[in-house]
Amino acid sequence: MFHSILFDFMLIGALGVGSQWVGWRFRIPAIVVMSIVGLLVGPVFGVLQPAEDFGELFKPIVSIAVAIILFEGSLSLDFREVKGLQRPVFRIVTIGAFLAWLLGSLAAHYVAGLSWAVAFVIGGLFIVTGPTVILPLLRQAKLKPRPAAILKWEGIIVDPFGALLAVFAFEIIDFLMADDVTGNALLMFFAASAFAGVIGYVLGKGLGWMFEHGHVPEFLKSPVMFTVVIFCFTIADEIAHETGLLAVTAMGMTLANMHISSIEDMRNFKENISVLLVSAIFVMLTASLTVETLMEIFNIQIIAFVLLMLFVVRPISIWLSTIGTDLSFGERALVGWIAPRGIVALTVAGYFANVLLEAGFEDAQILTSLTFALVFATVCAHGFSIGWLAKKLDLSIDGKPGVLIVGASSFTTGLAKSLQDLKVPVLITDSSWHRLVTARKEGIPFMKEEILSEQTEYHLDMTPYEYMVAASELDSYNALVCNTFVPEIGRSNLFQLTLHNSRGDDLEDMGNTIGGRLLFNQRATWERLNEKIDGGFVFRKTNITEQYTYAKYKEELHPETLLLYILKPSGKILFYTHKSQPKGENGDVLVSLMPPSKEFKRIQSKLSEQQNEGDVKN
């Protein structure tokens, strides 16, 4: 009924973001959902044909989107993150990539039946994993820091080099097949690649200098950065095709390692844009495939090639390249298995299929089918297996969602102890050894760090913690901590203690977008909570059952009891806040801060029952 480019844009956005939400809601790889949705609306039902509808705009849209995605990923490549992993990462992105190219080319020739020329072109392309597929998987799998860092760095660094290897192989072929053999074209390729790296570095340095010295106002920093990224990609790509990806990667890494204060805010904004672009582009590419391409996937040669790439080429290239490194058996096994291909492989393969066909290589017509078969197989196989394999190899953060508590005190120690007793991962951070004394005595995991320090993110693994409680003595500090961690944890899972009424900070007048959700009730300030602990108040855990319902619990509740949180059987934690008073259900555990009088009576009652039972037996 509707058929316009505007409608196509709307549908692509809705399907892409909707796929991301379905993946998050049902804990399945979003990339798999996007691939299936794209196939359904494209070649299966014919609702969407982006390549035809967008015409000549299709390739530039995809190219610019890939450049922005790759830049956003490289913006997180701070060399401090890879400290201790330099050797394995360097080996994997050099020796490992070369072995993968060589072995992949051999497989393409002997198994897929491609000519040597086409095999070496596609073999270079298939070394890529890329941030478009690996980063969503890492977010979902909750890997430990070491394997996560290796996979992220490999995916982002190798991504542009895979495209360059394919170009390099084609230039070699073109050089060898030329009637008038000349090395000028080959030299031009190397010069263009070097120029791409230089222009990315220079633009990154220049942009960073302008940001740091106040030559660009805050409201223009993100737009300026976007414009420069597109400029960097376009100039390099116009000089030599596919070198634009190298340029934006160099630019992103340069900015990341300048440690500019305002980069973090822009990184969060660009990450949101990147998620939107990944969703849209993946749907567009899969929807643009034809039925003939899909049917050709079932060719026995293509199936055999994909299996060989999955179970032989990738594992061998990683195991050989990491000999002599400090990677454990489990880390090598996981990295040797996980290598999903994505957007870059699909887009560049389409480009080379046309170029090679024009050059007279008729076997290049199966490149699109071959590439999609590998992309879909790796996305599904690795997407569904990464979590399971990581758990088996003890490389994932397993268990219930954890709580990170900022600010050590008698109250937070007791709160952490109650969570620890319920097998919930918990950590208290504070910059003072003195304030951490009670946590250390109680055996609570702790870290002496200033949570807002730039160095903390390299010492503290945030993966186990889905909730944060800012519970220091200062309201303004708690609000600042919550604001800082909104991108990592999400506003709904950030909490801070009730504001003081007599400090003069006037934080009550702040907007509701500043700070975290206010815990418990309006009287539960830092002073009063710690006074309660000093006065003998105790943390009590109550199981809500069919016999002892939440309503009955509320009836017997002491007026001075403070309801803290509910732990659901799934591991989800519902904190009591000013605006949220969750109700316990069958199977929940409700934790409260109870006056000592009632606790004392409860203990006395139990002792009396035990004494009566002893008298009966006697």
* Average pLDDT by stretches of 10, the chain with 618 residues: 78 89 76 84 87 83 80 72 73 89 92 88 82 69 80 77 72 63 67 88 92 84 88 88 80 83 63 76 82 84 93 94 89 90 73 76 84 86 86 78 90 91 89 86 86 66 83 87 80 85 52 74 87 88 88 84 90 89 89 75 58 56
Structure confidence by residue, pLDDT tens digits, 395-405: 877 667 889 99
- Identify the CA nearest to 344 among candidates 157, 116, 141: 157
Domain closes at, from 392, 417, 441: 392
Cα–Cα–Cα angle for 288, 293, 294, nearest 5°? 95
Question: Within a domain: residue 397?
Answer: no
Question: Within a domain: residue 231?
Answer: yes
- Residue 454 shares a structural domain with residue 330: no
- Residue 484 shares a structural domain with residue 351: no
- Residue 594 shares a structural domain with residue 496: yes
- Residue 382 shares a structural domain with residue 266: yes
Q: Which residues contact 380 (CB under 8 A, 6 or more apart)?
A: 29, 32, 35
pLDDT at 456: 63
Q: How many domains does the chain have?
A: 2
- Residue 387 shares a structural domain with residue 423: no
CATH number at residue 274: 1.20.1530.20
Q: Which domain holds residue 196?
A: 5-392
Q: How far apart are CA 452 and CA 106, in angstroms?
A: 51
Q: How far apart are CA 381 and CA 339, in angstroms?
A: 10
Please report which residue ranges of 178-321 form alpha helices under DSSP H: 184-212, 218-239, 244-256, 263-287, 291-296, 300-308, 314-321
- Residue 544 shares a structural domain with residue 583: yes
Q: Report yes or no: 254 and 229 within 8 Å, Cβ to Cβ.
A: no
Prediction pTM value:
0.65
- Residue 453 shares a structural domain with residue 480: yes
Average pLDDT across the chain, whole number: 81
- Residue 472 shares a structural domain with residue 370: no
Domain closes at, from 392, 413, 439: 392
- Residue 375 shares a structural domain with residue 410: no
For residue 84 the two structure tokens come to 């201790």
Domain closes at, from 335, 368, 392: 392
CATH number at residue 536: 3.40.50.720
Question: Within a domain: residue 345?
Answer: yes
Structure confidence by residue, pLDDT tens digits, 420-479: 988 888 999 988 888 888 888 888 888 888 888 755 655 676 777 889 999 988 888 888
- Residue 378 shares a structural domain with residue 418: no
Q: Is the dihedral of CA 343, 27, 445, 574 positive or negative?
A: positive
On the 0-12 / 13-18 / 19+ scale of CB atoms within 10 A, 569 is exposed
- Residue 506 shares a structural domain with residue 436: yes
- Residue 417 shares a structural domain with residue 342: no
SS3 618: coil
